[in-house]
Structure 1
Amino acid sequence: MTASGREKKFRQQPRVTVRLEAVWAAGRYAVLAALCALCYGNTLHGELVHDDVWAIVNNPDVRPGSSVRNIFSNDFWGKRMADNTSHKSYRPLCILTFKLNILLGGMTPLYFHVANVCLHCAATCLFMYTCERCVFGDQRLAIVTALLFAVHPVHTEAVSGIVGRADVLACLLFLLTFLSYIWSVGECVTEDSLPSTASLWSLLLSLMLGTCAMLVKETGITVFGVCLLYDALVLCRKPLAHHLSGSRGRDLLHICTPLIKRACLISGYVVIIMSVRLWLMGGSMPLFSEQDNPASFSPNLLTRILTYSYLLSFNAWLLLAPIVLCYDWQVGSIPLVESLGDMRNVATMLLAVVMIALCLHCIFSLQRQNNREVLVGMLFLVFPFIPASNLFFRVGFVVAERVLYMPSMGYCILVAHGLGRLCSVAGRWGTTFLSVSMLLLLLLFSWKTVQQNNVWLSREALFRSGIQTLPHNAKVHYNYANFLKDSGRHPEAIYHYNIALRLYPRHASAMNNLGTLTRSPEEAEGYYRKALDTNPQHNRALFNLGNLLKSQGKEKEAEALLRDSIRYGPHFSDAYSSLASLYAEQKRFAGANEVYLKGIENCPDSSDLHNNYGVFLVDTGEGELAAAHYQQAVRLKPAHYVAMVNLGRLLRSSNENQEAESWFKRALQVTRKVDILTPLGALYYNTGRYQEALQVYREATSLQPDSTEIWLALAQVLAMAGHSKEAEKMTQDIISREGSCIECYRLLSAIYSKRGNYTEALEALDRALQQNPSDVTVKAELYFSKGNQLREMNQLDLAFESYKLAVELKPDQSQAWMNMGGIQHIKVRWSTAGKFPCCCFLVLADQGKCMKNLKDGTRQFCPPFKNPSGIHLAPPSVC
């Protein structure tokens, strides 16, 4: 081979090596992403469950029409940050991702789950990259770390639950911030100098990314502490150790200037953003209840310290052995540690020993080279967990698996480091055994993750799993009872509410909800009052008791309770509607209007409140303003079919039939319900579109086959459409099921009368009168119809008596009076006819003329009218 040939071969080898490394790197990341997708692929068809409903479905800030400005002034759940009832969780960037999800794919849960799985894949791949560049010298250990992170079962809540996106996205931004900070620090030129800031832009980028991490979830701010300690103990370790051990310690301050500048910049920036964060909170901390975090409400300092310490070891155990997992660890799941003799203190002491040993290891390893795994593992494990430790402020949970998403990075690093150390001293067979063991652990974790994902597929699966996992947890029984209540399974709901109260007798919400399921008003009142004894500011118990007393006529007490419900829950829209309806019933329309306006001011995103105000405005004669509120209700909640139907009815009353029909049809696109079909059918019926009315009413009967009213309406449409036989048969069927159907007999009478079967028509009316209707108007109309049938049969005396009974029941029946006068005229009883209050009586039936009596005793012809029967007199308006 010639010299030029050898040179060409040596030039090609590095290129081949680079390509192979690139392919190998791409393969590693592809396998890692595929493993994440396989482990969480079964979550894609899950529902929005538990906190997802409150953070997404019921959150006004997430809706497409809402203002983006509100996202930056409200908390994670859509409440104002300055509100006393706010959770104070400020995560606008996470809410923006929810809003983007809805803009791109609507409320379909699939796209939310796809986004979560993709974010988990990205976080896992970035974690492996971070381990390769900044933690391990051995690439294999970085892969093992990332594989363990990808399949760890404790991540199921963060990835399967959509609300957990805050933790996953914060972890991703945490790693990006960390890497950006490291890129901003240059390398040591000599052992005498600390690395300077190589890229100010990278440093500023790290500040921006860290801020974004905090705006996704509060724990993201801990990345700045990790960056500073990594800078001092890893990047600057060698120069610092050299100067601390050497004779030039007096020059240390001058040498450390680059580090001090970075530390001052980071620290000052953290102080600023934390001050802004506290300002957004309105200067107050979130208010949690005892059931959220029982240890923090214990008056005994020793109990608080021992319980908080034990919870640290409990979280560590969840990372080590995620055997028992649950979506909620509140209310009795973990009893308080109240004495030094509690055996659980052993776990606390064991954790303390391990952590002290790891810290000492980090200190002693400062002089060594390439021994940063334990230090980074400790930083990643401890710092992200500090906000959840109750060390600086009270948190709203006992244990939450999703908050372990970021700390688990440190756990995975420590496990991989331990595995590497064991393999280095175990020999070939020992290494093989450890490798197989690690593979089995990864398979076991993957299986557990897939199984745990099934728990998050639906509300029922989630709540049932909670009961099976922690049957002594009152909160899981309460949540499952809520699900059963919403599903209409009330006996089961009552059973689980009672269990929740047995486990936690002071559960005010369980008492309140149990009251709503109780049939006895006295028993319900007792539950509401017990709930208020436990928590006098329970706004829903105040609301329910107020409504109960309102239904009992105790209006003054009801008003006071509803006012208190608004005072303690100013954003509870139902309380405004109930109080306003009470005022409306009392004819205090100005007060009702004021309450509605105040409610809309405090709850501008409540579609139900706008709808109810629209109903009130219609009742008070302000239809145009009502239409605007109905439309606003639909804008706030595009699926608010009740507001659409109300708007359709309003337009129908104004004879705007085409627009009314469009709103009814729009409501039907949301759901096919009888409440929508019947007004649409009535519109078709009243406008003579009988075939369309038949189609609508037939669908209504299929949806609600037990409704007599709908079957009767269908029969009426059939009769008007010319299907009298089918209408008659259907009406007879209704009568066979419900013999007291007065309207059925009236319809039969009309059908028979139209055929000329006056005898059968008269019999149908008699059967209707035999039911003795309580409504005077209905009874009067029946007598009037009977008079018409008798008149058609030329039984004028009996017809006269029937008309007489009608006007005795309802004196304002002008047509009955006119027909009575007509009968008297036909019988040539002129003097008697003049005594009737009717202004007209028939003079020449064949010519269709009538006369009226004037005040001076003379008579005058009325304008001509057409009446071929010669019986019915002209309506009063003609005269």
Structure 2
Amino acid sequence: MEAPLILTCCLAALLLYSNTLHAQFAYDDSRAIKTNPDVLPSTPILQLFWNDFWGTPLTHSGSHKSYRPLTVLSFRLNYALAEFEPFAYHITNVILHVIATGLFAVLTSLLAPNARLFSFTAPLLFAAHPIHSEAVSGVVGRADVGAAIFLLLALLSYIQYCKKSSINGHSNATSTAYYSSAAAAAGAAASSSKSFSSAASANASSSSSSSGAVGGCGGVVTTAVIGASRACSSKLYLSLAVLFSALSMLTKELGITALAVCAAHHIFVHAKIRLKDLPSLIWDKRQHQQLWSAVAVLAASGALLLGARLVIMGALPPEFAPADNPAADCDSAMVRGLTFLFLPAFNLWLLLCPATLSFDWSMEAVPLVTTLADPRNLASLSLYGGLAALCLTYLTGWRRPWGGSGVLPRRLGFDDSSNAGDDVVILALALLVLPFLPATNLFFYVGFVVAERILYIPSMGVCLLVSWGIHVLHLRARSTRTRRLLYAAVAILFVLFAARTWRRNQDWSTEENLYRSGIPINPPKAFGNLANILSSQGKKEEAEWAYKKALSYRSNMADVHYNLGILFQEQKRYEESIHEYRLAIQFRPRMAMAHLNLGLVLGLLSRKDEAIEVYRQCSQLDGSGLKDPRTHEATKISALFNLGRLYADDGQYEKAIQVYMEAVDKMPAHYLPQSLYNMLGEAYFKLENLEEAERWYLKALRVKADHVPAHLTYGKLLARMNRGSEAEEWFRKALVLAPKDSSVHQHYGQFLSESDRHVEAADHYVQAAVIAPSEYEIVINAANTLRQAGKNREAEHYYRLAVSIRPLDATSHMNLGAMLHVNGKLHEAEASYLEALRLKPDDSITRTNLQKLRHLLVKKGISPTR
């Protein structure tokens, strides 16, 4: 294909996905990128080759076993350039899709260089196919796009290897014949009296036998050198094919099928071997020795790569939840078999008619095939019948058989157009079937029902078949009108694909759009995920409705119960929250986060004994087999942390220290311990063990130098130890780190107030109150400090604000009354005192203040209120 046509296909791929560049992270992107420690530079780069795609060690029982270190490395490079800015990740995906489209265009041009319509249509349909939207728009889909690129590079390298090795074999035969003719010509010259010109024609410009022999030997040497050079070149391409196949596997697991695709190309496309001839060729390897040598290299490479993969993953298969792949969890062998037979047909339908797409096909999105009478079995029969017919047609009935000669037809390239259709169909079948085999549940169960992104490579096969069909129709069209109709049909197909892709990309632009689009296909998963988004947007009522809607479809979803519990907890609907957390634990007993939050709510309700029991249970949960062991282990330590705080709040500091130390002993390497160390310091501070307190505060600061709470608590400790200048230095450091943190201003203000620097203290309390105007303690402290600083008018304002925050608090009304009294607002002061007494009739201080006020009113000739 001409370069302009290849560039046109690449440009189409670029333009069609340009609306993804400003998309957000969606669905699995957050876990694979934002919460994946392997993406961060703090993780040693070699660790990528020992962890799965999500950052879990491959040997862990809960590992997903998805081994894609090159994909994670690409995320890491994106992070190095732009941290977690989605644009950098999305533009990388689009560029990779453009590269894949260009390589696919090169492949089609090699397959049928004289079929321009085919060579242009196939990559154009590939560029626009809607099934690719998940792989390109979703950042996680980069694994499939990258694997496709390396697979295409492997296949193109292997095609060059086949061509070079064929040319090399032809050259060797020619050099032998040339050497024999030269020797014969030299013998004839010695026994006859031929003229110079005759000798020249026979011996290639030589007049004597000796000179002819020399010339002949020189030709042999030259040809031998050329042949050796070509042999080295062919081995280089074979090595590249194996290397790119390995890189494809390191990008995504299914990339190892690149070796199988290369082998299929060599056997059935290049060497033109029929299925029935394979046994004889296997027994007699002298024929096509170069073919079997190459296939042996591919097989050995595949075995080596698979062996290394099994060693790295600990030779343990992954474990999945029943909802991920319901058929695999079904007890009926018939149901499993019928469903697994149907799923490839369903995937093929998505490739042929990608009208209905979903971000998730788990649970009951694709119902199980439970009986032989299910009409979907017809789709299965049609698929396998069609594949069998294609194989019988193209792998057993060649138009140019051996003819009994024992020599298979060999092609030097792809110039023989009479066989181009066979080449296209066979390679299309290889690309369609072989990369899809790992997802068929044939060799092992997979953790999904349908995954659109894994169809990125198989879609090449469909595009080849459809485009070759269009090419054949074009050849058979006898009139210009018919051909124009065909062109119009192709244009309409491309426009439909392009429009669907553009629209589907918009679904992937935000998580809300994505989950709303999935409601018709997988309502429980879509509603549950949508509720999370709505809750994060502050749309609590809509979120609650969505959570309950999800549970109406599938009531045993522990995640949804847990998230609904969080929603109720945020709304202080604690009893409802407890109910949801208990349901989450019922459906998933080892869900550590549900245990932790249940303990927190019980603590808020002062149900301390229950909270202690729940925290203890949480800290002892087994984490084997869980998909996110890092979070699970961290949550167990958080349970101990909160248990210690519960004891500390109850004044049981010795018990608190004991629990904190247990947490220190058990915490995993990835746990951030600065808060735990800080709380240990607090507990020792309360026990007047100031040396130990200082040791733990400093330890917290060494772990995280910008940990603001440790700055504040250490500052308080230093003030207590009469090291005022050091204390103030730490408070000032905290201000630099968090100038808009109300607690920093509050603690610094308290320090200044205790140092009798009331004016400075008042300034900081006011700043704290501006930042957090609804925090009662901050507001009342600001009012008190302003009064001490002699700023009575400002103090009055904050006393009024305190009353508005706690209108039923008698002390607030009493304080406001006292301030109004001082400021000469006697009637308002009287009203505040009376309100305080209404709320707390037996308060002696308020009664005394009211009596003094009324005495002053009488003295001024003003009648007090009755």
Instruction: Please confirm whether the aligned pair reaches a TM-score higher than 0.5, indicating the same fold.
Output: yes
The answer to whether 1:620 aligns with 2:667 is no
Q: Determine the C-alpha separation between the residues in 1 that align with 2:528 and 2:130.
A: 25
Q: Give deviations 1:792-828, integer Å, cap 9, x for gaps.
A: x9xxxxxxxxxxxxxxxxxxxxxxxxxxxxxxxxxxx
Q: Structure 1 214/267 Cα, relative in aligned 2: closer, same or farther at 3 Å?
A: same
- The answer to whether 1:61 aligns with 2:113 is no
Cα deviations by residue, 1:28-67 (Å, 9 ceiling, x for unpaired)? 3433333222211111111112111111111122123232
Find 2:352's aligned residue among 292, 314, 320: 320
Give me the whole-angstrom Cα distance separating, in 1, the residues matched to 2:610 and 2:109: 72
Matches within 5 A, 1:154-165: 154-165=131-142
CA distance in 2, matches of 1:501, 1:271: 46
Q: Deviations over 1:714-758 (max 9, x none)?
A: 5456556765333334434544674536367558757977x8x89
Q: In the alignment, which of 145, 154, 168 is matched to residue 177 of structure 1?
A: 154
Which of 18, 24, 34 is the aligned partner of 2:11? 34
Equivalent residue of 1:369, what SS? helix
Give the drift of 1:400: 0.9
Say whether 1:462 aligns with 2:514.
yes
Q: Structure 2: how far apart are the matches of 1:134 and 1:600?
A: 59
**Which AA in structure 1 matches 2:732?**
E
- Residue in 2 that maps onto 1:216: 251
Is residue 2:708 matched to residue 1:644? yes
Of 580-589 and 63-72, deviating more is 580-589
Query: Higher RCO, 1 or 2 (CA under 8 Å, sep at least 6)?
Result: 2
1:412-561 map, 5 Å: 412-427=463-478, 428-467=480-519, 469-470=520-521, 473-518=523-568, 524-547=577-600, 552=607, 553-554=609-610, 557-561=613-617
C-alpha distance 418-715 of structure 1, shift in aligned 2 (>3 A): same
Alignment of 1:146-157 (within 5 A): 146-157=123-134
Q: What letter matches 1:160 in structure 2?
A: S
After superposition, residues 707-856 of structure 1 pair within 5 angstroms as 707-715=775-783, 723-732=791-800, 734-735=802-803, 738-739=806-807, 740=809, 742=811, 745-746=814-815, 749=818, 770=837
Counterpart residue type for residue 507 of structure 1: M
Deviations 1:85-127, CA, capped at 9 Å, x for gaps = 1111111111111111111112111111111111111111111
Secondary structure of 1:290's partner? coil
Shift of 1:166: 0.9
Aligned 1:31-430 pairs, distance under 5 A: 31-134=8-111, 137-185=114-162, 186-189=164-167, 198-237=233-272, 252-363=284-395, 364-365=397-398, 367=400, 369-370=419-420, 371-427=422-478, 428-430=480-482
Inter-CA distance 758–410: structure 2 relative to 1 (3 Å threshold): closer
Partners of 1:693 and 1:154 lie apart in 2 by 63
Whole-Å Cα distance in 2 between the matches of residues 443 and 277 of structure 1? 42
The one-letter code sitting in structure 2 at the alignment partner of 1:644 is V
Q: Distance in 1 between matches of 2:788 and 2:575?
A: 50
Distance 1:217 1:446 in 2: 27
Which residue does the alignment assign to 1:579? 640
**Cα distance, 1:295 vs structure 2:** 0.7
**Partner Cα separation in structure 2 for residue 104 and residue 196 of structure 1:** 43
Residue by residue over 1:236-262, the C-alpha shift from the partner in whole angstroms, topping out at 9 and shown as x without a partner, is 22xx579969xx989952232222222
Q: Of 728, 732, 736, which aligns to 1:657? A: 728
- How far off is 1:199 after superposition? 3.1
Aligned length: 741
Q: Quote the offset at 1:711 in angstroms.
A: 4.1
TM-score of the two chains, using structure 1 as the length reference: 0.76
| Alpha carbons of structure 1 residues 138 and 663: separation in structure 2 relative to 1, 3 Å | farther
User: SS where residue 255 of structure 1 aligns?
Assistant: coil
The aligned residue for residue 823 of structure 1 is none
> Please, which moves more after superposition, 173-182 or 298-307?
173-182
Give the aligned residue type for 1:291: A
3-state secondary structure, aligned to 1:353: helix
The verdict on how the C-alpha distance between 1:599 and 1:689 changes in structure 2, with shifts beyond 3 A counting, is: farther
CA contact (8 A) 1:153 1:446 kept: yes
Percent of aligned pairs with the same residue?
30
State the SS of the aligned residue for 1:164: helix
Shift of 1:443: 1.2
Q: Deviation digits for residues 269-293 of structure 1, max 9, x if unmatched?
A: 2212212211222221111011100
> Quick one: distance in 2 between partners of 1:634 and 1:315?
53
1:327 maps to a residue whose letter is: F
Is the partner of 1:331 in helix, strand or coil? Answer: coil
Greater alpha carbon shift after TM alignment, 44-53 vs 589-598? 589-598
Moved more, 686-695 or 309-318: 686-695
Amino acid at match of 2:123: A
Q: Which residue of 1 aligns with 2:410?
A: none
2:411 is aligned to: none
**RMSD over equivalenced CA pairs, Å:** 4.0
Label 1:677 to 1:758 Cα distance change in 2 as closer, same or farther (>3 A).
closer
Contact 1:243 1:252 in 2 (8 A): no
Contact 1:64–1:99 (8 Å) recurs in 2: yes
Deviation of 1:525 (Å): 4.7
SS across alignment from 2:371: coil
- Report if the CA contact (8 A) 1:749-1:762 is conserved: yes
Change (3 A) 1:484 1:676: farther
Q: Distance in 2 between matches of 1:330 and 1:242?
A: 38
Moved more, 291-300 or 494-503: 494-503
Q: Name the CA shift for 1:127/1:505 in 2 (closer, same or farther; >3 Å).
A: same
Distance of aligned partners of 1:67 and 1:252 in 2 relative to their CA distance in 1, 3 Å threshold: same
- When structure 1 is superposed on structure 2, of 41-50 and 654-663 the one drifting more is 654-663
> Offset of 1:173 from its aligned partner?
1.2
Structure 1's 344 and 493: CA in aligned 2 closer, same or farther, altered over 3 A? same
Any unmatched runs of 5+ in structure 1?
1-20, 636-642, 794-879
1:59·1:77 contact (CA, 8 Å) conserved in 2? yes
* Distance (Å, rounded) in 2 between the aligned partners of 1:284 and 1:533: 28
Give the deviation of 1:334 after TM superposition.
Answer: 1.0
Pairing 1:595–2:658 present:
no
Structure 1: how far apart are the matches of 2:791 and 2:63?
A: 62
Aligned residue identity for 2:487 = S
- 2:689 is aligned to none
TM-superposed deviation, 1:700: 5.3
Cα distance in 2 for partners of 1:447, 1:685 equals 68
Find the counterpart in structure 1 of residue 208 from structure 2.
none
Moved more, 201-210 or 79-88: 201-210
CA shift, 1:501, in A, is: 2.7
